[in-house]
Amino acid sequence: MKQNNNSRLQERVITPFDDILGEEIVDETARRTGTSAASLFLFTKNDISRLQSLIEATTRPSYSCGPPKKIGTKAQGKLKADEWKAGIEFELTVYLMKEWYSQDTSTIGNDEGRALRHGLAVSTIHLACAVRQATSYITSPSHQASCTAHMRLYLASLLKYRPDIPLRPCHHNAQHFPDFLPRFGPSPGWWMFPFERVNGLLQQVNTNGKQGQSSILSLA
């Protein structure tokens, strides 16, 4: 018998892990009610400007370049996977916790906009927690369980707070990702970033529209 996607995703299987980013506030999720304000455009130009300022003011370790300072502009273009990962794990999450998350939920009242922002901020925390566990350089059954739980709660929050956005195949695939951690070990050992980098180098080669006619092709 098939279960309803919504009810299946809302199963609460979180267990405490002290080293998880934002673990102390994830209990706030799913307590907000659905709202008709879900179709509103919430992330304004002012939000983007302040997020850019936060990125510029952030000091990162040398091994982490972080998201681009001009994120969200046409000039910046599309973000790479590593840039999305860096932004979601820190800058975007910190910004939403400072600006959108209300510690005292009783003050939100009937303000649909604030309630929705609060819910989406917690939703982003779930995504950040799932990404952190999925991309850790060590893995364990705890990492697998935590990644699965946070990803389910993130997807459940999407269905709840943004019913206008349909779930996509990548959301389905993300629920299977934790199953690979105990089989293949930490994902940095088998993820596709090195191959994507090679693809990026190949795309920069000037073939003059005559692929296959060059006798020698070398990449420095």
Residue-wise pLDDT tens digits, 136-194? 999 999 999 999 999 999 999 999 988 888 899 999 999 999 999 999 999 989 888 77
| Burial environment of residue 156 by CB neighbours within 10 A (0 to 12, 13 to 18, 19 or more) | buried
Would you state the pLDDT for residue 87? Answer: 86
Find where tokens 């005559």 sit.
Answer: 210
- Are residues 217 and 205 in contact, defined by beta-carbon separation less than 8 angstroms? yes
Give the C-alpha separation, 125 to 119, whole Å: 10
Give the C-alpha separation, 97 to 52, whole Å: 15
Find where tokens 């990492």 sit.
Answer: 143
Q: CB-side exposure of 68: number of CA atoms within 13 Å?
A: 12
Say what the pTM is.
Answer: 0.69
Would you state the pLDDT for residue 72? Answer: 77
